[in-house]
């Protein structure tokens, strides 16, 4: 099983914001949803748009390229739940966001 990797200080990402990071060499999008952190793959399944640069509205991220939307808590597309982006486990430890990628 993969280890959790320290990605950033929690204070670096305000509620309602998203960012991009590399975790163990993989592009990952990190989201702060009302003080809870989530992580998904950074690539939209439509055309590979950078989800971490998208607009976060509640728990829904909108890809900045073609406006596809996904629930960051489940990875499900908001129109068709069968279409999903990958999600990664996240935990907070000593004020830092840690992500586990496989």
Alpha carbons 24 and 102: distance in angstroms, whole number = 9
Contact at 8 Å (CB) between 54 and 18?
Answer: yes
Residue 48: domain span: 4-100
- What is the tally of structural domains in the chain? 1
pLDDT of residue 47: 87
What is the Cα 63 distance to its own chain's centre? 12
pLDDT of residue 1: 64
Tens digit of pLDDT for each residue in 18-35?
Answer: 999 999 999 999 999 999
Alpha carbons 28 and 20: distance in angstroms, whole number = 6
Mean pLDDT of the residues in the chain: 96
Read off the pTM. Answer: 0.95
Average pLDDT over residues 49-57: 97
pLDDT of residue 64: 95
14: how many CB neighbours lie within 10 A of its CB?
10
Cα separation values, 23 from 51, 57, 62, 65, 67, Å:
15, 24, 22, 23, 25
- Residue 20: give its domain's CATH number: 2.102.10.10
* Residue 93 bridge partners (DSSP): 96
Length of the chain: 102
Whether the per-residue pLDDT at 44 is higher than 80: the answer is yes
């Amino acid at each position: 099983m993969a280890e959790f990797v320290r990605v950033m200080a929690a204070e670096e990402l305000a509620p309602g914001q998203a960012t991009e990071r590399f975790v163990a060499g993989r592009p990952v999008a990190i989201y702060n949803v009302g003080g809870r952190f989530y992580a998904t793959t950074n690539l939209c399944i439509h055309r590979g748009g950078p989800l971490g640069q998208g607009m976060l509205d509640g728990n829904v991220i909108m890809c900045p390229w073609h406006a596809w939307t996904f629930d960051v808590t489940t990875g499900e597309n908001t129109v068709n739940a069968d279409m999903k982006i990958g999600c990664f486990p996240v935990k907070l430890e000593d004020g830092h966001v840690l992500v586990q990628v496989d």
